[in-house]
Amino acid sequence: MGTINDALQKAVNIYPDNIFLYEGSKSLTYKQLNEVTDRLASAFLEEGLKRGDHIGVLALNQMEWLISYFAAAKIGVGVVALSVRYRDTELEYMLNHSEVKAIVSIDKIPGFNFAEFFCEFQTKVPTVEKYIFIGEGFEGSLSFSELITRKVVNDKLRAHIKEVSPEDLAVMIYTSGTTGKPKGAMITHRSILASARAQVNHFQITEEDVTIQSLPLNHVGGITCQVTVTLISMGMAVLIPEFRPENVLTAIQQHKATLFGGVPTMYLMLFSLHGFSKYDLNSLKICFIGGSNVEPALCQKITTSMPNAKLVSLYGLSESSGACILSRASDSIEKVQNTLGVLIGDFISKVVDGKRQEVGIGEMGELLVKGECVAKGYYRDEENTKETFSEDGWLFTGDLVTADKEGYISFKGRKKELYIQGGFNVLPAEIENVLTTHPDISIAAGIGVPDPFYGEVGRFYIVPAAGKQLKESEVLAYCHEHLADYKVPKQLVFVNEVPMTPAGKIQKSKLREAYLRSH
C-alpha cells in the first residue's frame, strides 16, 4: 500500500505540472507541492520534530493545512487535526491527550485571535514546544512563511523519509466518546490510502476529475474522501476555506468541477441561496451525500438542480478512515434514499446482535466492518479500543443496520446517544459535562431530535441549581465560550426535574418518549 508520500511521488512522476490544489487565485502543481513540503519537512526536522511525534494543525481549508499535512507525513509525524471552531475546553483536552509537540495554527479568524489565545494558553499545554503561525504570531513563535523558504537538508530528509512505514500514524481525528471525552482515532498511512483507493476504484475517478474540497480537513470527509481521493486519482481539488454557498457554486462553475460532496445541510444551504439558478452546474458528474439519511424531497431537489450529476450515498467514519460503503453509480434514487449502499474495495462486513452473533438477512443489528481501511485504534484509550476494535480486525461501528441479499446496507439508528447535527458528530455527554460546570446549573440531560435543516439537533433539559433563575441567552453564551459552535444546543428546556432510574441515572428514554408525544 505504501505511504502518503509514495502516493505523492507517483503523481509527481506522472503529472508533475498538473495542478493539484486551487485556493482562490493560488494554485500548486504536484511538483510544487512536493518541493514546498520538502522544505517544510526539513524545517520540522531542524526544529526537533521526528518520526512518532505529533503536530497539531488548526486552520481553515487552505493550502497551509495541506502543506503541513504532507510535510509531516513525509517524516512520519502524525497530524492531530483540529478545528478553528474548537475553544479552550476542547483544545486543552485534545492537545494534552495527544501529547502534541508542535502546533501549526492560523493567527486569527473573524471574532477570535488564535495567536493571543495560544500565547496565554501555553502553560495549559506543557508538551507543546513550538508554535508555528500562519500570519502574525507572538514573541518566540515561528513563522510558517519563513519555514517553507528554508533550504532543504537533503541527506537528513531522505534518511527520515525512508524510515516511514505504512503503519505509522498519518492523522489523528478526535471523535465523540461515550464518557463525554473525545477519542483520538489513529488513522494510518495504510488505512487512509485504502479507503481513498477503494472510493477511486468504485467510481473510476481519474486525473480528469475536479473535486470541490468543501468538507472540513479535520474530518475524514475532507482529508480522505476529497483530498486523498484526489491525490490517488491524480486529479485537482479546489479548496473552499469556509463553506459559503456563493463561493462553492462559483468554484463549481469556474473550475467545471465534476465531484462535489456534502452533508444534507450543505445542500440545503446551496439551494436556499438567492440566485442559485443562475449558476452553471452542468459539469458535475457525481454528488456524494452523507452524514444522515437523505430525505426524498432533498434527493429530488439535488437531481433536478444538478441534472448531469449522479447522486450517491456515502457512509464512513473516523474509525474506517473514510468511506467504506457507497452507492453504486447504477443505483436508482429510491435505492440511494433507502440504503447506505454496498461495501467498496475488498472490505467486508457483517451484522451482529447484542451477543455479537451474526444475524440473518434483513434482521437488524450492529454493523461491523473489516479491511485495511480500519484505523489503528484510539490513542491512549485501551478500554474504548478493545470495545470498538476486535483483535481479529473487526470495527464495531455502533450503527444499527439491516443488510439485504444484494449486499445493500440500510441505516436504522445508533446504539449510543451520539447525534449528527449538520454533518458534525455531537455526543450529549460532552455538552452536559460543560453545562454542569455552570454554577447555576444542577443537572443537564441532552438528546438528539429530528430537524429539517440540520438533520438532528441537540435538545437539552436543564435543572437550575436550588434558588437560581436562568436565562436561555446566558446558558447559550456560556456554551459558546467553552464549546465549538456546532455543539452549542439548538433547543433548551428548563425543568424542575428529569426522570431518574432507581440507581440515580437519568432516563433519557423517558425524555425521548415525552418529546415524541409532544411532537
DSSP string, 176-205: --TTSS-EEEEEEHHHHHHHHHHHHHHHT-
With b for 16 or more beta-carbon neighbours within 10 A and e for fewer, the 376-403 pattern comes to: bbbbebeebbeebbeeeebbbbbbbbbb
Asked whether residue 427 falls in the same domain as residue 402, the answer is no
The 10 Å Cβ neighbour count of residue 375 is 30
Per-position pLDDT tens, the chain of length 519: 799 999 999 999 999 999 999 999 999 999 999 999 999 999 999 999 999 999 999 999 999 999 999 999 999 999 999 999 999 999 999 999 999 999 999 999 999 999 999 999 999 999 999 999 999 999 999 999 999 999 999 999 999 999 999 999 999 999 865 456 889 999 999 999 999 999 999 999 999 999 999 999 999 999 999 999 999 999 999 999 999 999 999 999 999 999 999 988 899 899 999 999 999 999 999 999 986 667 788 888 999 999 999 999 999 999 999 999 999 999 999 999 889 999 999 999 999 998 999 999 999 899 999 999 999 999 999 999 999 999 999 999 998 889 999 999 998 877 777 888 998 888 787 898 899 889 999 899 999 999 999 999 999 999 998 899 999 999 999 999 999 999 999 999 999 999 986 556 688 878 988 898 888
Inside any domain, residue 503: yes
The 10 Å Cβ neighbour count of residue 43 is 23
Predicted confidence (pLDDT) per residue in 242-295, tens digit? 999 999 999 999 999 999 999 888 998 999 999 999 999 999 999 999 866 677
Asked whether residue 150 falls in the same domain as residue 97, the answer is yes
The residue behind cell 478500554 is 383
For residue 399, the SS3 value is: strand
Asked whether residue 242 falls in the same domain as residue 104, the answer is no
Q: What is the pLDDT of residue 178?
A: 46
What is the pTM (predicted TM-score) of this model? 0.88
CA atoms within 13 A on the CB side of 85: 15
Nearest to 44, CA basis, from 76, 12, 7:
76
Predicted confidence (pLDDT) per residue in 334-361, tens digit? 999 889 999 999 999 999 998 999 999 9
Asked whether residue 374 falls in the same domain as residue 475, the answer is no
Cell of 288: 456524494
Nearest to 442, CA basis, from 468, 417, 460:
468
Q: What is the pLDDT of residue 363?
A: 94
Nearest to 153, CA basis, from 73, 46, 52:
46
Distances, alpha carbon 277 to alpha carbons 150, 250, 252, in Å: 47, 12, 13
Inside any domain, residue 86: yes
Q: What is the pLDDT of residue 354?
A: 84
Distance CA 448, CA 80 (A): 28
Q: What is the pLDDT of residue 430?
A: 83
Distance CA 274, CA 42 (A): 47
DSSP calls for 233-266: HT-EEEE-SS--HHHHHHHHHHHT--EEEE-HHH
Pair 81, 218: CB distance under 8 Å: yes
Which CATH number fits the domain that encloses residue 453? 3.30.300.30
Asked whether residue 121 falls in the same domain as residue 239, the answer is no
Helices assigned H by DSSP within 210-329: 220-222, 229-233, 245-255, 264-271, 296-305
Provide the domain limits for residue 320.
Answer: 191-414
For residue 156, the SS3 value is: helix
Inside any domain, residue 174: no
Asked whether residue 129 falls in the same domain as residue 209, the answer is no
Q: What is the pLDDT of residue 288?
A: 96
Asked whether residue 393 falls in the same domain as residue 312, the answer is yes
Asked whether residue 213 falls in the same domain as residue 323, the answer is yes
Inside any domain, residue 92: yes
Distance CA 205, CA 257 (A): 13
